[in-house]
Structure formats: C-alpha cells, structure tokens
C-alpha cells in the first residue's frame, strides 16, 4: 500500500476524515496531506486528497524482506518510539486514531533513511466531545473495551501499540482466531481477559523491560493502561539507544508465516464492512418527545402513582 491521490465521495463522514487528517498533517511520523480538491466523479461530488507518496511499503513487509539480516530489539524500540511520536501528537490534538494497525504504518522510501508514518484517518474521532462510544475496529488490533459496550478513548490506541510491539518482537500476534473467522468468540474472550503469553523460543532472549511495557499496554482495564506520555517516558522507549541489540526471530517468523499473515490481513479487510458499527449514525430519540407505546404506558402508570401519593399527602 502506498498513499498518493485518494478519492472520497463527499459526505459529512468523508469531510470529518479529511478534517482530522488535515489537522494532524505535518505532525511527526504522520503522512502529510498536500492538497484537497472538490470535484465531480461519475456525477457525484467527491473530495480528491493529494498525500505524500509512501514508496517504502508497509512496516512488516519491510521486516519480512530482510531475510538473513538480523532484526534487533533496539530496532524494534526505535520503531515503537516513532509510532509513539505520531500517537502523542494526535492525542495532544485530542484526536484518537482508532485504527492503528500494521497496514496503516508506511515508509516514505526504500532507502535506509526512510521515515515510518501513520496514515488512514477514516475512523479518527475528536475526544473532547463525548467519550468514544463507537465500536469500529480491526479485529486483531482491537482493545477489550471495544468488544463490549463500554466507552473507550485514547487508550484504544495504546492497546494497538501493545499489539504492534508484540508482533515486532516475535513475528506473530498475541491473540489468535482458531476458527478461521476474523474474530471468533474464543479470541474475543481471550482479548477481553487479556490472555496471552511470551512463548519460547521467540521470547527467550527478549528483555524484561520490553515484556513489562507490553503488559502495561495490554491491560484489559483502559484506566490502568499507560497513557501516551507514560509510554514515551518508559525506559525502553526514551532510552532506546541502550536497549540491547538482541537478534529477534521476527523476520524469520514473518517469512515462514507469510501465507498466514496475508490471510490475517484478508480476514481483517473482509471483516471491516460487517464489524465496524458506527453508533454515530443511529439517531437516539429524546425520551421526552418519544411516542413509544410501552413508554406512554409507563408514563401513565407513573402519573397515576404520583397523583395518588399526592392525594395521600394532602389528607
């Protein structure tokens, strides 16, 4: 995936996506919008978004292509610091991205001096209006509270950071669907209960600092999860130059599981249409003006009860 011109049919949701991306554009490690044009396409109004071209490809594809060249824990820490800088900027602007996943992390070029950047603001939301209540997510990188009815906020992005960091350090995700479904009941339960491990041999040489940081990011209670400021201040991130240069199994595992990895991405893509339910599109009726029969029945009952009690008190 590379960005460049993107066409969106004009709608309030499309304009919101452009607004959020425009607001974030120019922030560290965020794909820049160069220009936006209003146009017509097949007789429909549309927005043409011109973004910087990201020619370096996706984060994990790049690691996968390394072959025998070792990918180290220190490199993983530097990548996580870069992603953290993007999230830190967004959260400082009161924007939650809500779809931080490998496909949305792209390199500017194939060169060694290439910069990793975050893109795709299709599900971004301002966090200043209401606590986020929209379960719209990608299954493998979804926070536990998104799976249930609970409200969620910026801590959703922190959960995603934990999942991406986990994969960076071993080559496979912490939660699996064993049924072939994009998100199975068993996987849903494991995510909600925070059931994952650090199996050997992939994790045997990974530092305890790294494992501790993952535990703090994958907390099932969003109030206990690290904030982006705490994440950026963690020694594994802010002292990444002293993180051990331990060779990891990541590149080998990604290469061996290449077919599975592609399946995961395909499952996620096909699941997006059915799994992203945007409650913002549901108009919640004001109870005072609602004409629901059961509600009217309850109102009459309450009114009768209150007049009876008033009668008692007047005697």
Q: Which of 19, 35, 82, 99 is catalytic?
A: 99
- % the chain with pLDDT above 70: 68
In a domain, 223, yes or no: yes
Decide if 285 is inside a domain.
no
Say whether 99 is catalytic. yes
**Collapsing DSSP states into helix, strand and coil, what is residue 249?**
coil
Structural domain of 155: 54-280
Residue 228 pLDDT exceeds 60: yes
> How many structural domains does the chain have?
1
Residues sharing a CB contact under 8 Å with residue 282, sequence separation 6 or more, in sequence order: none
Nearest CA among 222, 200, 201, 197 for reference residue 211: 197
Written as six digits, the tokens of 184 are 């199975």
pLDDT digits (tens, 9 = 90+) for 30-68: 999 999 888 888 888 988 888 999 999 999 999 998 877
Would residue 160 count as lying in a domain? Answer: yes
CATH code for the domain of 85:
1.10.510.10
Evaluate whether 8 touches 60 at the Cβ level (below 8 Å): no
Q: Please say whether the beta carbons of 251 and 171 come within 8 A.
A: yes
What is the pLDDT at residue 96? Answer: 86
CB 123 within 8 A of CB 279: no
Is residue 280 predicted with pLDDT exceeding 50? no
Q: Give domain status of residue 175, yes or no.
A: yes
- Concatenate the DSSP letters of all residues of 268-308 into one string: HHHHHHHH---GGGSPPPPTTT---HHHHHHHHHHHHHHHH
Q: Is residue 46 part of a domain?
A: no
pTM for the full predicted model: 0.77
- Would you call 77 helix, strand, or coil by DSSP? helix
Q: Which residues contact 285 (CB under 8 A, 6 or more apart)?
A: 292
Q: Is residue 236 part of a domain?
A: yes
Q: What is the mean pLDDT of residues 128-139?
A: 50
pLDDT value of residue 224: 87
Q: Using one digit for the tens of pLDDT, what is the confidence trace for 81-96?
A: 999 999 999 999 989 8
Residue 144: inside a domain: yes
Per-residue pLDDT tens for 34-44? Answer: 998 888 888 88
**21 domain-assigned:** no
CA angle 54, 25, 45 (to 5 degrees): 85
């Amino acid at each position: 995936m590379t960005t460049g011109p993107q066409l969106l049919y004009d709608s309030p949701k499309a304009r919101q996506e452009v607004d959020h991306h425009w607001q974030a554009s120019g922030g560290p490690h965020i794909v820049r919008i160069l220009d936006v044009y209003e146009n017509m396409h097949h007789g429909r109004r549309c927005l043409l978004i011109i973004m910087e071209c990201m020619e370096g490809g996706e984060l994990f594809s790049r690691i996968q292509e390394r072959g025998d060249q070792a990918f180290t824990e220190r490199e993983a820490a530097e990548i996580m610091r870069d992603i953290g800088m993007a999230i830190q900027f967004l959260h400082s602007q009161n924007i939650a991205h809500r779809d931080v996943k490998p496909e949305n992390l792209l390199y500017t070029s194939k060169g060694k001096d290439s910069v990793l950047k975050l893109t795709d603001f299709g599900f971004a939301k301002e966090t200043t209006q209401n606590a986020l209540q929209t379960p719209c997510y990608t299954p493998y990188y979804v926070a536990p509270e998104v799976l249930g009815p609970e409200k969620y906020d910026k801590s959703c992005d922190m959960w995603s950071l934990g999942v991406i960091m986990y994969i960076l350090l071993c080559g496979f995700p912490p939660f699996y669907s064993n049924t072939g479904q994009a998100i199975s009941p068993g996987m849903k339960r494991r995510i909600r209960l925070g059931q994952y491990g650090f199996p050997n041999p992939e994790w045997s040489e990974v530092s305890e600092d790294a494992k501790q940081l993952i535990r703090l990011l994958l907390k099932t209670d969003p109030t206990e999860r690290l904030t982006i400021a705490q994440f950026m201040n963690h020694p594994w991130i802010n002292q990444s130059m002293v993180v051990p240069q331990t060779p990891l199994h990541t590149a080998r595992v990604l290469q061996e599981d290449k077919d599975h990895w592609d399946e995961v991405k395909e499952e996620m893509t096909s699941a997006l249409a059915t799994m992203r339910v945007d409650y913002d599109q549901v108009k919640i009726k004001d109870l005072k003006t609602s004409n629901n029969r059961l509600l009217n029945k309850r109102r009459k009952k309450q009114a009768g009860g209150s007049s009876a009690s008033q009668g008692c008190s007047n005697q």
